[in-house]
Amino acid sequence: MKDRYDVAVLGMGAMGAAALYQLAKAGVKVIGVDRHHPPHDQGSSHGDTRITRLSVGEGAQYLPIVRNSHRIWRELEALSGESLFEQCGVLVMTSSPDYDANDQTDFTQRTLHLANTYGIEHEVLSAEQIRQRFPQFSPVQDSAVGYFEPGGGYVRPERCIAVQLKLAEERGATLLKGETVTQITSDEQGVTVLTDQRTIRADKVVISAGMWSRDLLGKPFDRLLRVCRQKLFWFELEDNARFAPVSPTFIYYHGGGDAGMSYGFPPLPGEGSLKIGTEQYSEESSPDRLDRTISESEASDMFDTHVRGKIAGVTSRLAKSAVCAYTVTPDSDFIIDEHPTLKHTLVVSACSGHGFKHSAALGEALAQWCVRGRSELDLSAFSLRRFDGLLD
């Protein structure tokens, strides 16, 4: 027996949960499918906290999206009573021996340039100002420069997903958890989705399957998407650690390349630890062979490289750790486009590790595409067409 829906959403992580909520809110008969039980820690949408900021150094095309997301997080808070978006500010800084203030490829300078261009409230901080306001960064070099954006902060990914799925269900959405999609086919009348338990028929499909997208989507995604293992660490604080009463999230460049960058969060109340992570794009993995454990040597290397002598008041004692997966495109920008061979099918993947802060607004845009055939946001920068030369 085939269940018939207006829209089926495959994958209920960051993008899928947002799309389901917005579709259900619009009165669409929608179903969501996920092989796990979201919110879960098996993909990309977990880890307690995710940075959000209005001046997105990855590119101007993201600014309208994150603005809409900030609005929607507040709307969701009002509806649910949950705290989802902590506006503690964000500090982007470069404290590197070879820092060049004229280098426009420097991430701090790119962030500052976008903020100036688009009128985003911010401050530029010298090394001494960074030390005075945020004592945990007292080790920064004298040449350091910081960009502080008071409108930034962090969102709580598990809470955001849970709230949107709950609100979607309350508005009539059907959620299938612990069910795996095995095949997708399409014809002029719609899309057929086979799972390990049933057949679903939908007029349109949104695929937001994260690291499972490569195998599920086929060509050309099998050549475009890579899965990269990422590590998250929570280090215990010293007893006398000095942090500002309101400490920011941070993106910290202290050397060249991926190895010279870390990002992190203020200590959460009652936890006594600081979360810090890095990004790496050289080692690939897959859903079936992703190593989900953190070794002692990985924790030690993280502390020695990114904490010792760079962040004060933090010990090498590991409170907890986690692994997540970034599904990455060749240019690290999103893919949001219609599938080239599956009819009535919209793909939203991969988000290359910086998608969560945009997910609420993208869910709204995906719902608009399903209902109206287009979105209010200009998503043309994320088209598959930009890879035509690469795939020749």
Q: Which of 328, 343, 369 is the last residue of a domain?
A: 328
Residue 256 covered by a domain: yes
Q: Which of 275, 297, 328 is the last residue of a domain?
A: 328
Statement to judge: residues 231 and 324 lie in one domain: yes
User: Which residues face 147 on adjacent strands?
Assistant: 92, 124
Residue 218 covered by a domain: yes
CB-CB neighbours of 201 under 10 Å = 15
User: Which residues face 237 on adjacent strands?
Assistant: 314
- Average pLDDT of the segment spanning 96-122: 91
CA distance 215 to 225: 10
The residue written with tokens 């870390």 in the block is: 262
User: How many domains would you assign to the chain?
Assistant: 2
Name the token pair of 302.
């993280």
Residue 282 covered by a domain: yes
pLDDT of residue 164: 98
User: Which residues face 262 on adjacent strands?
Assistant: 252
Statement to judge: residues 192 and 321 lie in one domain: no
The model carries a pTM of: 0.97
Q: Which of 328, 343, 371 is the last residue of a domain?
A: 328
Statement to judge: residues 231 and 323 lie in one domain: yes
CATH number for position 124: 3.30.9.10
Statement to judge: residues 12 and 31 lie in one domain: yes
Q: Rounded to 5 degrees, what are φ and ψ at 198?
A: -165, 175
pLDDT band at 59 (very low <50, low <70, confident <90, very high): very high
Q: Strands, DSSP E only, in 152-260? A: 153-155, 174-177, 181-187, 190-195, 199-207, 226-237, 249-253
Residue 68 covered by a domain: no
Residue 310 covered by a domain: yes
Residue 55 covered by a domain: no
Statement to judge: residues 103 and 127 lie in one domain: yes
Residue 169 covered by a domain: yes
Question: Exposed, middle or buried: residue 119 (CB in 10 Å: 0-12, 13-18, 19+)?
Answer: exposed
What pLDDT, in 10s, does the model give residues 196-250?
999 999 999 999 999 999 999 999 999 999 999 999 999 999 999 999 999 999 9
For the chain, the maximum distance between any two Cα atoms, rounded to a whole number of angstroms, is 69
Statement to judge: residues 309 and 236 lie in one domain: yes
pLDDT at 304 over 90: yes
User: Which helix (H) or strand (E) segment is 318 a member of?
Assistant: strand 314-328
What pLDDT, in 10s, does the model give residues 68-83?
999 999 999 999 999 9
Statement to judge: residues 293 and 379 lie in one domain: no
User: Which helix (H) or strand (E) segment is 389 a member of?
Assistant: helix 388-391
What pLDDT, in 10s, does the model give residues 258-303?
789 999 999 999 999 999 999 999 999 999 999 999 999 999 999 9
| 8 Å CB contact between 7 and 345 | no
Range of the domain at 44: 2-50+157-225+330-391
Statement to judge: residues 386 and 268 lie in one domain: no
Residue 66 covered by a domain: no
b/e code 326-340 from CB counts within 10 Å (16+ = b)? bbbbeebbbbbbebe
Handedness of CA 314, 316, 319, 321 (dihedral sign): positive
Nearest to 93 by CA among 17, 30, 144, 160: 144
CATH number for position 338: 3.50.50.60
Statement to judge: residues 185 and 312 lie in one domain: no
